[in-house]
Amino acid sequence: MAESNKHFVLGSNIEAAADAGEGEAIFGCGCFWGAEKGFWRLPGVVTTAVGYAGGNNPSPSYEAVCGGRTGHAEVVRVVWNLEKIDISDLLKLFWECHDPTQGDRQGNDRGSQYRSVIYTNTQQDLLAAQASRDAYQQKLSSKGYPAITTEIKTDQIFYIAEPYHQQYLAKPGSRPYCSAQPTGVSLGPFQGCHYLLPEKVWSHFDWSVSHCVLRGENRPILL
């Protein structure tokens, strides 16, 4: 494995295909630096990588995506062990770590590249994403939030981002930045959910604290 393909925190291959017994999905929730750190910390996650998906250019670059010329969103590819963590757990982190009602922005970051997205590889995960969205919409509406704008699709191509973006927040000299604006609303149960992570895992995320992901440790949460 080339050093550039090695996950800076987990030590896994960030470009390896998901094996049997592993799931794979793509999440976009604002700037991909902070989003990736949230996912790699979850127990049972095998690897993560940041990149671009959902656009119309076959070879997107960071400059082109940020310029709004490709239609891609900044995203995180997540591969996980199906016996240790469920798509439900990943969806819980996804919905709670940002505000999915903001459209083409997240906090101070504006543009379609910062839109909220879930791209799944299986129909089962697609249905879970849709069910979780509907349940979360009810929770948000009760708190006065508008409609969720998250784009949910299957079979979108993931283009890995430049090496310097990978696990950026864990690397020496990185600029601690995250524009996500969590609503403070918890997901809870939804149709077909099957949470596997214990409740104590979520005590490591306090969305009432500004930039919670930045303040947390880089290493994975231990059970």
Q: Which helix (H) or strand (E) covers residue 125, if one does?
A: helix 123-142
Return left, alpha or beta for 187; rule: phi > 0 is left, psi -120 to 50 is alpha, else beta: alpha
CA distance 162 to 91: 26
Strand partners of residue 74: 52
Which residues are bridge partners to 48 per DSSP? 78
Active-site residue identified among 29, 31, 193, 212: 31
Q: Which amino acid is at 170?
A: A
Confirm if 31 and 114 have CB atoms less than 8 A apart.
Answer: yes
Residue from 44, 41, 60, 63 nearest 52 by CA = 60
CB 187 within 8 A of CB 35: no
Single-letter amino acid code for the residue at 107: G
Q: What is the distance between the alpha carbons of residues 113 and 117, in angstroms, rounded to a whole number?
A: 10
| Catalytic residue status for 31 | yes
The set of catalytic residues is: 31
